[in-house]
Structure 1
Amino acid sequence: VLVFVKICSTPSLQASGLRPQPSNSAAFEIEEPLNQLPPPNVKRELIMLSLPAIASQAIDPMAQLMETAYIGSLGPVQLASAGVSMSIFNIISKLFNIPLLSVATSFVAEDLAKSSSDGDEKNERKQLSSVSTALFLALGIGIIEALALLLGAGSFLRLMGVSADSPMRVQAEKFLSLRALGAPAVVLSLALQGVLRGFKDTKTPVFCLGVANLAAVFLFPLFINYFQMGVTGAATATVVSQYIGSFLMIWFLSKRVILLPPKFGDLKFGVYLKSGGFLIGRTVAVLITMTIGTSMAARQGPLAMAAHQICMQVWLAVSL
């Protein structure tokens, strides 16, 4: 092999465009110059990956804007109550979810490259420890978030300026407790989006999230108006739609990879936590500003908080 490489690198052969065959014969073949090879269409691939990814990021704030519109029809107190609870839920969930999404994409892409270089068949289901780790970690974080929100709903509301005698308190606590049940689905959804991006698939998350939010469009009026559940109906509809989206993504992913690891020791929790820890600081810096703004609005009363919720959701929907 070394002799063959040495021969190919001689100036006379390079100038003639000839390449010796790696065999005992002395035959030569004409090699096409490198500058005539068709370049990969990198720009097109980036556009095809980025557009669905942007759409999937826009779906969540648009869904919350739709939820805000339905709750707003119930009155300012109901909208203010739900607004404070949404803010608390977003703060708790995004603190760990955003780093998990980014880290999962990176590690899955790296694992996939190693698997391809090892000669695995392209169409067979792969066994990737990075995928199993991301899913187990997401499920664990989601359960912890759900328990924290369920058990500490009253404490979180007090920190945000909603006192026990506030007209927002009862409905806000009910709304937050119900939304807490959807925390595992939210964390799983973001982890699954990161995993699918590692496969260079940004279309599947858009489809799954689109179906989930289409279900929410029908569930909101059903629970809020037909069953007369008020803000609790809005929270229930959101939680159901979140689980629909997560289960759809799990179903599509299970066609590509084996979700459960052969043994628990193959999971790489330490690597994920170490890499995600660096991103948590950036996420905290962004969330602190939004938290302070919501807390100040909540202390002004239901009308101010309702106005803040409308403006916040409109801003989040158009800022992407």
Structure 2
Amino acid sequence: MEDNGAAAAAAAPATSMPAEKRVAVIQGDAPPEPAAGLLPCGPRKTGLHLFVMNIRSVFKLDGLGSEVLRIAVPASLALAADPLASLVDTAFIGRLGSVEIAAVGVSIAIFNQVSKVCIYPLVSVTTSFVAEEDAIISKAVRGNSSQEEDVEKASHVGFDPETSNLHASGPAGMAECVNSCIPTECAADPSGRQGRCEKRYVPSVTSALIVGSILGLLQAVFLVLSARFVLNIMGVKSGSPMQGPAVRYLTIRSLGAPAVLLSLAMQGVFRGFKDTKTPLYATVVGDAANIILDPILMFVCHMGVTGAAIAHVVSQYMITLILLCRLVQRVHVIPPSIKSLKFGRFLGCGEIPLESRARIIISTLRKEIELFVSASGFLLLARVVAVTFCVTLAASLAARHGPTVMAGFQICCQLWLATSLLADGLAVAGQAVLASAFAKNDSKKVAAATSRVLQLSIVLGMGLTVVLGLAMRFGAGIFTSDVPVIQVIHRGIPFVAGTQTINSLAFVFDGINFGASDYRYSAYSMVAVASVSIPCLLYLSAHNGFIGIWIALTIYMSLRTIASTWRMGAARGPWTFLRN
């Protein structure tokens, strides 16, 4: 998938491209340079001008602004909904005591680490895969619609479409058909002609669901069987008062892992369709159920942290069910049946033997899954391990300083992530818009969209700094009544609130890099960032405790932002078109 530009450049002839070649187009080693003739500012030696390009239009609701806003706002709300629900969980659990909130904090860190390692590469790849394949298939459908109209006109003057050689029926034709535009079911209008396409089969959707389901089951089994062992590694030893509630919470919450990974995979699919409203709706409904069930199970039923875990698991399965119901209404989530293949001629499938069609579909699905778990997926896996390990290590180091420090760290970390993830909405918008623009070879839109989301991320970060600083100073008592824990929270204000602009840029750059399919650099640079950040965490935590952990996390986020800024500023990789 690292070749968005080539995928779009080949979109027109994609309907006649063999399976292996189409896969290569989508999965090339590096994106090609978009056509530079459309650049609004002419060639540049660096890409740093994108930070200020058209800065007066940062809040302008033009075509680009409306598109970014339409994607970013629902995505931001959806992405922030779960951390905000976790904040509510934290507030309820805080009423149980500092030991309980510290125990839950360690458990959440473990669960998130394993979940993100399992699914985040798949979600990121899925968003771009779906955006690219949907664009290619849509163009193929439009092209074949035009061809069909021409055929119909020709038939009036004696041309017989049944005997024409528009599409080969041999082995090459089979691959051409299935891989360019695997069957789409279309509604027929009253005149009897093929109408608007309502459902289609996008290979990445099926692959994401299959891989997500398998990984979710494996994660659940792993965490249930190894809860005590993993907590021990995290610093919660057998004699710690945190171990009992931590084991109970982690074990029960692990039962929701299949739902978590499936819902995240489907969110990646909807983002690829530039639909962020559906994930928002599902997430809000599920999190509302979580918030309602929390006090009932925890205090009315006297289940404590066990009730909090059950509430979270129920909410995750609700989110998954809603997303799945909406997804099957939009696309085929499994390879089309033999019966549905009768629409193949509309997309140029010709007369292919049924057995051959089945073999082609199975082969295509296998290739897609292999791509997810090999090339781009492997690079993103390395990147996510580096990203999440730093935060997980920070939680582990905080736990080693005792329940009070861990409780304070958990509250600070939840606030840090909940507000920072608002910028992830901009990242989703940037990824979807850029993936589509690269696929269409539209360099002007690539530059304009990059500039707009970067500028918006800076504005968002500055606003979050003010809001979060005031909220932490005067609202810490919402999460706990323990005075020592509140004092720890106040010590973290300069770091949690002060890094919001840096965090926003780091998250948005992630979306930009993924939209440009720059997975290789993203992976390697993040491993380099982690190799510096991890020693900083170990050293500063040992010498400066809670403050040292947050200094190291600030260094970590700063290095992430610097690494991505350098890539774009140097006009390397997918940004080389800025030089032309």
Q: If the length of structure 1 is used for normalisation, what is the TM-score?
A: 0.84
Tell me which amino acid in the other structure corresponds to 2:219: E
* In 1, Cα distance between equivalents of 2:228 and 2:121: 27
Alignment equivalent of 1:254, drawn from 313, 324, 328: 328
Alignment equivalent of 1:221, drawn from 279, 282, 295: 295
Tell me which amino acid in the other structure corresponds to 2:75: A
Q: How does 1:95-110 map to 2 (within 5 A)?
A: 95-110=117-132
Name which of structure 1's ranges 257-266 and 291-300 shifts more when overlaid on structure 2: 257-266
* In 1, Cα distance between equivalents of 2:64 and 2:409: 43
* In 2, Cα distance between equivalents of 1:43 and 1:239: 37
Residue in 2 that maps onto 1:192 = 266
Tell me which amino acid in the other structure corresponds to 1:286: V
Q: How does 1:107-122 map to 2 (within 5 A)?
A: 107-119=129-141, 121=186, 122=196
* In 1, Cα distance between equivalents of 2:387 and 2:87: 20
Report deviation, 1:155. Answer: 1.1
* In 1, Cα distance between equivalents of 2:96 and 2:308: 11
Q: Are residue 272 (structure 1) and residue 372 (structure 2) matched? A: yes
Report deviation, 1:319. Answer: 2.4
Q: Are residue 204 (structure 1) and residue 249 (structure 2) matched? A: no
Where structure 1 has 5 or more consecutive residues not aligned to the other structure, the ranges are 1-39
Q: Are residue 58 (structure 1) and residue 80 (structure 2) matched? A: yes
* In 2, Cα distance between equivalents of 1:287 and 1:253: 29
* In 2, Cα distance between equivalents of 1:66 and 1:277: 35
SS at match of 1:286: helix
Task: Tell me, yes or no, if the aligned pair for 1:100 and 1:190 is still in contact at 8 Å.
Answer: no
Q: Are residue 76 (structure 1) and residue 150 (structure 2) matched? A: no
Name which of structure 1's ranges 296-305 and 152-161 shifts more when overlaid on structure 2: 296-305
Q: Are residue 46 (structure 1) and residue 68 (structure 2) matched? A: yes
* In 2, Cα distance between equivalents of 1:317 and 1:112: 31
Tell me which amino acid in the other structure corresponds to 1:254: V
Q: Are residue 314 (structure 1) and residue 415 (structure 2) matched? A: yes
* In 2, Cα distance between equivalents of 1:316 and 1:41: 31
Q: Are residue 155 (structure 1) and residue 224 (structure 2) matched? A: no
Report deviation, 1:264. Answer: 4.4
Residue in 1 that maps onto 2:456 = none
Residue in 2 that maps onto 1:290 = 391
Alignment equivalent of 2:112, drawn from 79, 86, 90: 90
Residue in 1 that maps onto 2:20 = none
Percent identity over the alignment is 45
Tell me which amino acid in the other structure corresponds to 1:81: A
SS at match of 1:125: strand
SS at match of 1:283: helix
SS at match of 1:229: coil
Q: How does 1:156-175 map to 2 (within 5 A)?
A: 156-175=230-249
Q: If the length of structure 2 is used for normalisation, what is the TM-score?
A: 0.47
Task: Tell me, yes or no, if the aligned pair for 1:208 and 1:249 is still in contact at 8 Å.
Answer: yes
Tell me which amino acid in the other structure corresponds to 1:253: L
Q: 1:124 to 1:319 in 2, by over 3 A?
A: closer
Where structure 2 has 5 or more consecutive residues not aligned to the other structure, the ranges are 1-61, 142-183, 187-195, 337-360, 422-580
Name which of structure 1's ranges 187-196 and 108-117 shifts more when overlaid on structure 2: 108-117
SS at match of 1:124: strand
Alignment equivalent of 1:131, drawn from 182, 205, 215: 205
Residue in 2 that maps onto 1:233 = 307
Taking only aligned residues, the RMSD between alpha carbons, in angstroms, comes to 1.5
Report deviation, 1:54. Answer: 1.8
Deviations 1:189-232 (A, max 9, x none): 11111101111111110011011111111110111011110000
SS at match of 2:201: coil
Q: 1:223 to 1:264 in 2, by over 3 A?
A: farther
SS at match of 2:331: coil
Deviations 1:27-47 (A, max 9, x none): xxxxxxxxxxxxx92331122
Report deviation, 1:298. Answer: 1.1
Name which of structure 1's ranges 284-293 and 71-80 shifts more when overlaid on structure 2: 284-293
